[in-house]
Amino acid sequence: MRLKPVVCLLLFIAIYAGLHGGVYYFKNRVQELGIAATLLLFVLGAWFSLFELKQSIWKRWVYFPAILSLGIMIIWALVFYLRYDTNVLFSFFAAREFLFIFLCPAIYLIWKSGLDVITIRRLVWFTFFFLMLNYLFFYSTMDLEAAFFSNDTYLTSIVTMDDWRGFRLKPPLYAIMVSILMSLMMIFSRISPWHTLAAIVTFSIGAYIWSIVQFRSTLASMALAALVYPFLTAHYNRLPLFMAVLPLIIIAAYIILELVVTGAGPSAAGDDVRARAFAAAFESIAQKPVMGAGQASGFTITYQQLMGAKFFPDDIGIVGMTYKYGFIGIALYMYMHFLILYRTWKTNWQYREIVGCHEPLLWGIFIWMCAQTLNLVLNPGLSSAKGITVAAIGLALCGIYKYMLESGELARRKDELSRF
C-alpha cells in the first residue's frame, strides 16, 4: 500500500486521541489532532478505495457514517439553538467527539486500499499497550493531590479522590478493558511463546493499573460478561436465548454490582448530588421529551447554568442522555448499540468457525460490548469519544471479516490469521 507509514501513524494518533490518551497534558488538545487524523485517514481511504469497491458498497461506507455523525452534531446543535437562542456553531463543535465515528469507515477503507488486517490489529494492540504505559508515566510523575485541589477545573476533572482509595488519575478505561480481555484470550489460545509472553505482560500491566483505580463495578460487569459468554453467546443458535434472558441478566448484574460496590468500601461520595441531578433531569425530560435539551457549549450557555452548578448529564447515565437528546436520540443510540453488539457477536462466531480459534481483539471488543450492555443504564459508553473509538474498531473489523468470509479469503488465510 502506498503511504503505509503515514497511514499507520494517522491510525495510531486517531486511536490514541480517541481513547483519551492526551487528557493528561495540554488540556486534551491532542483530541483535535486525533479528529484531524481520523478525517484525513477517512479521506485517504475513500480516495484509494474508490476503484477497489463496488459503488454501492463504497457509498455505504462513505455516506452513512457522514450522515450519522454530522446529522447528530447538526440536529442537536439546532435543538439547543432553538431552545436557548445561542450560537449554533459553538454547539456544533462542542459535539465534535462524534467525528470519531469516521474511524470505522476509515479503517475499513484503508484495509480495502491495501493495508493488511494483521497490520491493523497489531497496530491497535500496540496503541492500547502504549496507552497503558502513557497512563503509568503520568500517574508516576503528576502531583495528584495538587492537581485535585488546583484552581484549574480541568486538572481537577482528571483526578478523583475518596477516603479509602486515595487520589487516582483517571485511566483510559476502555483501552485497559479490551487489553485485559484480548490478552486473556491470547494466553489461553497459546498462539506462540512470544505472543503468550506479550499477552502476559499486557495483562499484568492492565491488572496493575486496575489495582490503582479499583473500578469495582466495571470489573464486575466485565467479569460477568466473560462468564456469560460460553453459556449464552458462544454459538450461533444461542443468540435468541441470550436476548430472551438479557433483561434478567441486567437485573442480576445490578444486584451483583450493588453488592460489590457497597461491600468493598464506603458508599460513593456525591450520592445526594446525583439524586438531585436525576430529579432535575426527569423534570426537564417531561417538558422536552422528544428531542431533549440539545447540545450545550462551554462558550455559550452550559448545562450547569441551566440546571444547577453540579449538574453533569454524563454522570447520570442514560437519563442524562435522554435529557440531552430526548427519546429520538435514545432510540438512535439503542439501535446502534445493539447493532454493534449483534455484528461483533455474529462475526466472532463466524471467524471462529472458519479459522478455528478466536480473534483476540474482536473477542475482546465483543465482551466489552456485552459489559456495556450490562451497564447500559448507568453508563451509555458509546456516547463519548473513547466508546465510539472502540466501537468503530470493532465494527470495522466486522466489515473486514465479512468481506473476507464472502470472498473465501478468510478460509485461505486461516493459518496466517490464527497467529495474530
Alpha-carbon gap, residue 150 to 298, rounded angstroms? 20
3-state secondary structure of 142: coil
Is residue 418 a contact partner of residue 355, using CB atoms and an 8 Å limit?
yes
pLDDT for res 250: 66
Given pLDDT bands bounded at 50, 70 and 90, which one contains residue 192?
confident
**Average pLDDT of the residues in 146-158:** 91
**Average pLDDT of the residues in 36-52:** 94
Task: Please give the grid coordinates belonging to residue 300.
Answer: 455559550
Is residue 96 a contact partner of residue 33, using CB atoms and an 8 Å limit?
no
Q: What is the DSSP letter of 268?
A: P
Q: Which residues does residue 159 pair with via DSSP β-bridges, in sequence order?
A: 169
User: Percent of the chain at pLDDT above 90?
Assistant: 69
pLDDT tens by residue, 296-314: 998 999 999 999 888 999 8
pLDDT for res 66: 96
Taking CA 118 as the corner, what is the angle to CA 20 and CA 402, rounded to the nearest 5 degrees? 95
Judged by average pLDDT, the poorest of 217-221, 277-281, 362-366 is 217-221
pLDDT for res 153: 86
pLDDT for res 239: 65
Contacts (Cβ under 8 Å, ≥6 apart) of 343: 394, 395, 398
- Dihedral sign computed on CA atoms, order 363, 365, 369, 371: positive
Q: In whole angstroms, how large is the CA radius of gyration of the chain?
A: 21
Judged by average pLDDT, the poorest of 192-206, 267-281, 392-406 is 267-281
Residue 74 has pLDDT above 80, yes or no: yes
Residue 127 has pLDDT above 70, yes or no: yes
Is residue 77 a contact partner of residue 71, using CB atoms and an 8 Å limit?
no
**Average pLDDT of the residues in 78-94:** 95
pLDDT tens by residue, 47-68: 999 988 899 999 999 999 999 9
Three-state secondary structure of 13-38 = HHHHHHCCCCCCCHHHCHHHHHHHHH
**Average pLDDT of the residues in 203-221:** 89
Residue 24 has pLDDT above 90, yes or no: yes
Residue 253 has pLDDT above 90, yes or no: no
Residue 236 has pLDDT above 80, yes or no: no
Task: Please give the grid coordinates belonging to residue 99.
Answer: 467525528
More confident residue, 165 or 131: 131
Residue 370 has pLDDT above 70, yes or no: yes
Residue 11 has pLDDT above 90, yes or no: yes
**Average pLDDT of the residues in 266-280:** 71
> Checking phi first, is residue 408 left (phi over 0); if not, alpha (psi -120 to 50) or beta?
left
Residue 19 has pLDDT above 90, yes or no: yes
Task: Please give the grid coordinates belonging to residue 395.
Answer: 465494527
Alpha carbons within 13 angstroms on the beta-carbon side of residue 218 total 19
Task: Please give the grid coordinates belonging to residue 7.
Answer: 497511514
Given pLDDT bands bounded at 50, 70 and 90, which one contains residue 230?
confident
- Range among 235-239, 261-265, 404-408 with highest mean pLDDT value: 404-408
Residue 294 has pLDDT above 70, yes or no: yes
More confident residue, 315 or 270: 315
User: Percent of the chain at pLDDT above 70?
Assistant: 90
Residue 12 has pLDDT above 50, yes or no: yes
pLDDT for res 266: 46
pLDDT for res 268: 47
User: How many Cβ atoms from other residues are within 10 Å of residue 31's Cβ?
Assistant: 22
Q: What is the DSSP letter of 294?
A: -
pLDDT for res 234: 65
pLDDT for res 267: 47
Q: What is the dihedral of CA 103, 62, 414, 175, to 10 degrees?
A: 10
3-state secondary structure of 162: strand
Residue 264 has pLDDT above 50, yes or no: no
What is the chain's mean pLDDT, rounded? 90
Residue 262 has pLDDT above 60, yes or no: no
